[in-house]
Amino acid sequence: MRTAPVTDSNLIRQIAAGDADALQQLFKRYERLVFSLAFRIVDETTVAEEVTLDVFLRIWQKADRYRAEKAQVKTWLVRITRNIAIDHLRRNNRRGLHAQVDWADSAYRELLPVAPSSEETVSANIRQESVVRAVASLPDNQQTALSMAYFKGYSHREIAQILNEPVGTVKTRIRLAMKKLRHLLHDET
């Protein structure tokens, strides 16, 4: 007998009602995604694990703040992960250690298995390949600026200082990069 997997937003609702099992299920779905992203940002296994625990504890405490109409659960989780991990870098003055981090290379088979359930594995893998390919299609200087903003939380000004480029140039690169990603990933009509 097979039952349809509970949707992410239903899990959040159950978590908000105090259901710890639902949190455990959400953890099983997104542990790797959260941990891999945290690791990319903080670059230390033990810290990335602490960040991962913090993220899910925060979900536990604040699940009732989730607004389904504003964002998918995955989007929400990613945002919380980035915030906690980047805050950690800031607090410990560690951002400068690895100011530039590369995006995943589509040539390597190192991509995340992120599907919430095996039924969705195929479509999730296809989506993931599209995202990796879309990022890889950006000019190198756009990839770099986007990576510094995304993984380190650097402002336009900070990126400009590190790369020794005008602020306006950095702003343009990040906006062009995001607009191209939007075109490649969300304009499929």
Considering only residues 142-171, where is the footprint of other proteins by CB under 8 A? 146, 149-150, 153-156, 171
Taking residues 109 to 148 in sequence order and writing x for each that binds other proteins by CB under 8 A, - otherwise, the string is -xxxxx------------xx--xx--x----------x--
Does position 81 interact with other proteins (CB under 8 A)? The reply is: yes
Q: Of 22, 154, 186, 127, which is closest to residue 173 (Cα–Cα)?
A: 154
Q: Is 22 in the site for other proteins (CB under 8 A)?
A: no
Rank residues 4 and 146 by Cβ distance to other proteins and give the closer one: 146
Contact 22, 14 (CB under 8 A): yes
Among 1, 107, 108, 164, binds other proteins (CB under 8 A): 108
HEC string of 26-46 equals HHHHHHHHHHHHHHHHHCCHH
d(CA 41, CA 147): 10
Q: Which of 87, 117, 120, 139 binds other proteins (CB under 8 A)?
A: 87
Give the phi and the psi of residue 92 in degrees, each rounded to 5. -100, 10
| 14 lines the binding site for other proteins (CB under 8 A) | no
- Residues 128/114, Cβ–Cβ less than 8 Å: yes
- Residue from 5, 60, 68, 115 binding other proteins (CB under 8 A): 60
Rounded Cα distance between 66 and 45, Å, is: 28
Stretch that binds other proteins, among 5-13, 105-113, 115-123, 161-169 (CB under 8 A): 105-113
